[in-house]
Amino acid sequence: MAKAEISNRIRRLRFDHDELTQQELAGRVGCTRQTIILLEQGRYVPSLALAFRIAQTFGLKVDEVFEYVGD
Amino acid sequence: MEFLSGWFVPLLATVIVFGVVGAVLIVRAWPQAAQLSPEEREEMARAPMPALQKRAWWGLAIGGVTFMAITAILTTKGAAAYWENDDLRLFVVAIFLGGLFAYVAVVLLALVKEERDGSLDERDQAILRRAATAQSAAIIIALAAWLTALPKMFHSEGAVPVVYLYLMFGSVVLVHMIGQSVGILLGYWFAARHG
């Protein structure tokens, strides 16, 4: 799959939140560590539900975590 | 080459056309999938194996061993011996049911674990849905192989022995089992390289 049209700040936000590990974040939002890795690499576009759960985990709005970079 | 008459030629032509179209579609789609960089691949490789992938490896192992054991018995003893010898038939059926129950047990245990831990996420579910395509293709190919081989084997007799109905059914069940596992593993293999 080509790079997704949605970029995100998940890796940065993990470090800003007491260096949360990928596994811990995966456990909190209900997905696998592989999914978190691919999200951070920009190789996977999450569903709206997962995007909201990730944003809520960091106490942010969805558009503060994810950004649409396509045309 | 008497079997090359009647319905056999259209069937063979259809299989070839579908095969060529499928191959062209795969080749056209492949370059669009960007590769993960070596660092990205390494990061993926360090992650623990998802529960669905583990289940698929178990399914492939159980299905593969069952399929190979039954195939080995039938090729050495012959389909006629299987049909006429009650002990042999019971033995083969026991292997088949043993493999089937082991597979169902693995799937049920995995489903309970996935439900309890929430270990089946949306990406896993997408891979599982796509695996159904591989499963359907495997079943169609298995049936096409039977329908190609049986008329060729028994064309001169004008009838196919009843035992082959049971063997067709058994093989389709095993291919169904193996096809899903292969589809899931291909999904993870692709994701580990292309995201």
Per-residue pLDDT band at B83 (split at 50, 70, 90): confident
Is B40 part of any domain? no
Question: Do the Cβ atoms of A36 and A25 come closer than 8 Å?
Answer: yes
Say whether both B67 and B120 belong to one domain.
yes
| CA neighbor of B125 nearest in space, from A66, A20, A56, A49 | A49
The Cα B88–Cα B79 span in angstroms is: 10
Q: Under DSSP, is residue A31 helix (H, G, I), strand (E, B) or coil?
A: coil
Question: What's the rounded mean pLDDT across residues B20-44?
Answer: 73
Say whether both B11 and B81 belong to one domain.
no
Q: A6: which DSSP letter?
A: E
CA distance A23 to chain B (A): 9
Say whether both B151 and B69 belong to one domain.
yes
A18-51: b or e for each residue (b if 16 or more CB lie within 10 Å)?
A: eebebebbbeebbbbbbbbbbbbbbbbebeeebb
Say whether both B94 and B159 belong to one domain.
yes
Question: What's the rounded mean pLDDT across residues B56-81?
Answer: 92
Say whether both B11 and B75 belong to one domain.
no
Say whether both B105 and B9 belong to one domain.
no
Q: A61: which DSSP letter?
A: -
Q: Who among B36, B122, B124 is closest to A43 (CB)?
A: B36
Give φ, ψ of A68 to 5 degrees. Answer: -80, 125
Question: What residues of chain B lie within 8 A of the CB of A49, using their CB?
Answer: 122
| Residue of B189 and A1 predicted with greater confidence | B189
Question: Do the Cβ atoms of B73 and B90 come closer than 8 Å?
Answer: no
What residue has token string 């319905």?
B7
What's the number of domains chain B is made of?
A: 2
pTM of the predicted model, to two decimals?
0.78
> pLDDT of A12-63, one tens digit each?
999 999 889 999 999 999 998 989 999 998 888 999 999 999 999 999 999 9
Q: What is the pLDDT of residue B78?
A: 85
Q: Who among A2, A22, A35 is closest to B123 (CB)?
A: A35
Is B8 part of any domain? yes
B129 touches chain A (CB under 8 A): no
Question: Do the Cβ atoms of A41 and A6 come closer than 8 Å?
Answer: no
pLDDT at residue B130 is higher than 60: yes
Question: What's the rounded mean pLDDT across residues B42-50?
Answer: 82
Say whether both B139 and B99 belong to one domain.
yes
Nearest chain A residue to B50 by CA: give it.
A32
Say whether both B165 and B108 belong to one domain.
yes
Say whether both B71 and B23 belong to one domain.
no
| Residue of A46 and B18 predicted with greater confidence | A46
Say whether both B11 and B67 belong to one domain.
no
Q: What is the pLDDT of residue B5?
A: 54
Is B38 part of any domain? no
Which structural domain, as residue segments, surrounds residue B3?
1-33
Four-residue CA torsion sign, B168, B170, B174, B179? positive
Q: Under DSSP, is residue B159 helix (H, G, I), strand (E, B) or coil?
A: coil
Does CATH number 1.10.1040.10 belong to domain A6-68?
Answer: no
Is B26 part of any domain? yes
The Cα B167–Cα B125 span in angstroms is: 32
Indicate the domain borders of chain A.
6-68
Is B137 part of any domain? yes
Is B120 part of any domain? yes
Question: Do the Cβ atoms of B85 and B79 come closer than 8 Å?
Answer: no
Extract the tokens encoding A61: 């709005």
Say whether both B67 and B101 belong to one domain.
yes
Question: What's the rounded mean pLDDT across residues B92-96?
Answer: 94
Say whether both B68 and B20 belong to one domain.
no
The DSSP bridge pattern shows strands A6-8 and A66-68 to be antiparallel
